[in-house]
Amino acid sequence: MRIAKFLASCGVASRRKSEVIILEGRVSIDGAVITDLAFQVSESMDVELDGQPLKQNTKTYFLLHKPKGVLSTMSDPHGGEFAIDLIPGGREKGLFNVGRLDQNSEGLLLFSNDGDWANHIMHPSKGILKTYLITVKGEVMDSELRELTAGIEDEGDLLKAKVARVVHKRRFETVIEVILNEGKNRELRRMARAMGFHMQRLIRTQVGPVELGQFNPGFSRELTKEELQQF
């Protein structure tokens, strides 16, 4: 196994960030500093990062109902509450978030220590669908829903929903189900802004075969074998 992949499997960082760590001379194998990114690690070797021994984590996969106001990032210079810390032992397991939800969004967020699986989930070519419920102020017209699925130009990107349909109409607000298959940065908020919608709530309810269900914010659990097999 290449050295960067080994570091990623230990939960150190992504492969790309692990390469930077290696090139900085922070990794040693059997007592010798290694900066060759092509170096192959075998099971019999002792690998250390900054003098601390590393070992591969058992691959594990979690979902979390991220509450509003909690950060998806692993750290932040300004502080705050982090989603990873809502999963018991999440940091010790080497978990990292697979995709993101911004601080003001809530709902289903996946975590794993399996970099290859994470790349599979996030790569646009895989077309893994993500379902959201957005609550906007006022009434939404059918023509506006058609515009969401036809595509909206924003900052050089074509933002396009696979599905957009009204699920609830209340006196002063509308709840819309939106399904995306790419997930560009802050895509739904950019779409809402371009449409002139005043968004009041954004919650992700499903990623691929995994559904959020009726669990309260802060709830987490491991994914089932059946869910993993469906990705």
| Inter-residue contact 155 to 149 (CB < 8 Å) | no
Q: Which of 76, 85, 102, 116 is catalytic?
A: 102
Distances in Å between the alpha carbon of 183 and those of 48, 92, 117, 123, 126? Answer: 36, 29, 17, 10, 12
Q: Enumerate the β-bridge partners of residue 52.
A: 49
Q: Supply angle C-alpha 12, 18, 24, rounded to 5.
A: 115
The DSSP symbol for 86 reads: G
> In one letter, which amino acid is 185?
N
Report the alpha-carbon distance of residue 163 to residue 145 in Å, rounded. Answer: 9
Which two structure tokens, joined as six digits, stand for 83? 């989603």
Instruction: Tell me if residue 102 is catalytic.
Output: yes
* 175: β partners: 135, 168
Active site residues: 102
